[in-house]
């Protein structure tokens, strides 16, 4: 199927709405163009994508192998993570983070579809981790160059497991150490790669300095001038590059119902 793709940027460097494409029926030429647009804008948004679960999974697989999440898989399809919030069970990923950084080879990207949206609220924000790094002062850049940080799934998912389950999962998923500043494997851009969701501390510095570094990097990510924001509609899809962005889901819609479905593309070891 030959398509005419229209790319509408949300900001000068981060986020773009892509129009005129059907993600369930992309020819190879359009998909190649989409890969370039993805690298250029880091977060892509698509409206009115009435995909089946199989089509969602198939689109994700065009980018690479898919993550099978050990702690957030409650549906019938192991590749699909269901993210649901109800009046009785409110949920929103309301901390700045990048997905599954606790993996030795964290995610390349995530593809999130809105199934049920609240009548108001429930937006998601993304931050450009490379732009945030570029704005750091030279002294801080020099201090964090070459440092690593410890990433641990237990911070987010440990509370839902028994002690025995935590010990069993810890054996399968030990803590990992990734660079504080990650180099994007395709663009070569440097970006902040710490987040409060999964990072416990910066390695090889004392606790006070670790906290100061993490605080300054988190505040850099929180700068509105390097962010974009998306208002969801049913069958909207957002796809983002976890190697150079972080995201935050607002929790301003409770007690309304919200249900999202995500596939996550496996990446490579950060350097």
What letter would DSSP give residue 176?
Answer: E
CA dihedral (185, 191, 197, 202) in degrees, to 10, reads: 100
Cα–chain center distance at 96:
9
User: Which DSSP letter does residue 238 get?
Assistant: E
Active site positions, annotated: 97, 99, 247, 262
- Tell me whether strands 124-128 and 148-151 are parallel, antiparallel or unpaired: unpaired
Task: Establish whether the linkage from the previous residue to 126 is cis, with ω within 30° of 0.
Answer: no
Residues 6+ apart with CB under 8 A from 173: 70, 102, 103, 153
CA gap 84, 103 in Å, rounded: 23
Rounded Cα–Cα distance for residues 253 and 201 (Å): 32
Burial of 259 (0-12, 13-18, 19+ CB in 10 A): middle
Q: Is 87 helix (H, G, I), strand (E, B) or coil?
A: coil
Taking the C-alpha atoms of residue 271 and residue 256, their distance in angstroms, rounded to an integer, is: 41
Distance of alpha carbon 197 from alpha carbon 86, whole angstroms:
22
Residue 171's alpha-carbon distances to 154, 167, 179, 208, in angstroms, are 12, 6, 23, 29
Please tell me the distance from the alpha carbon of residue 157 to that of residue 145, in angstroms, as a whole number.
Answer: 30
């Amino acid at each position: 199927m030959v398509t005419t793709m229209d790319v509408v940027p949300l900001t000068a460097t981060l986020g773009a709405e892509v129009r005129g494409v059907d993600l369930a029926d992309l020819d190879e030429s359009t998909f190649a163009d989409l890969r370039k647009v993805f690298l250029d804008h880091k977060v892509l948004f698509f409206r009115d994508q009435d995909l089946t679960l199989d089509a969602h999974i198939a689109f994700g697989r065009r980018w690479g192998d898919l993550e099978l999440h050990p702690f957030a898989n409650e549906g019938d399809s192991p590749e699909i993570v269901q993210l649901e919030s109800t009046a009785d069970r409110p949920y929103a990923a309301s901390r700045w983070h990048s997905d599954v950084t606790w993996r030795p080879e964290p995610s390349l990207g995530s593809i999130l579809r809105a199934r049920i949206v609240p009548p108001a609220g429930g937006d998601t924000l993304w931050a450009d981790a490379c732009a945030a790094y570029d704005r750091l002062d030279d002294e801080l850049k020099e201090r964090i160059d070459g440092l690593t940080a410890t990433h641990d799934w237990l911070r987010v998912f440990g509370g839902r497991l028994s002690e025995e389950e935590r010990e069993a999962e810890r054996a399968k998923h030990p803590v990992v150490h990734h660079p504080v500043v990650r180099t994007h494997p395709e663009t070569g851009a440097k970006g902040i790669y710490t987040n409060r969701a999964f990072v416990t501390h910066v390695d090889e510095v004392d606790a006070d300095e670790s906290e100061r570094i993490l605080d300054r990097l988190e505040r850099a990510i929180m700068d509105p001038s390097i962010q974009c924001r998306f208002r969801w509609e049913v069958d909207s899809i957002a796809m983002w590059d976890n190697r150079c962005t972080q995201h935050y889901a607002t929790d301003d819609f409770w007690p309304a119902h919200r249900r999202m479905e995500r596939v996550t593309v496996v990446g490579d070891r950060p350097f």
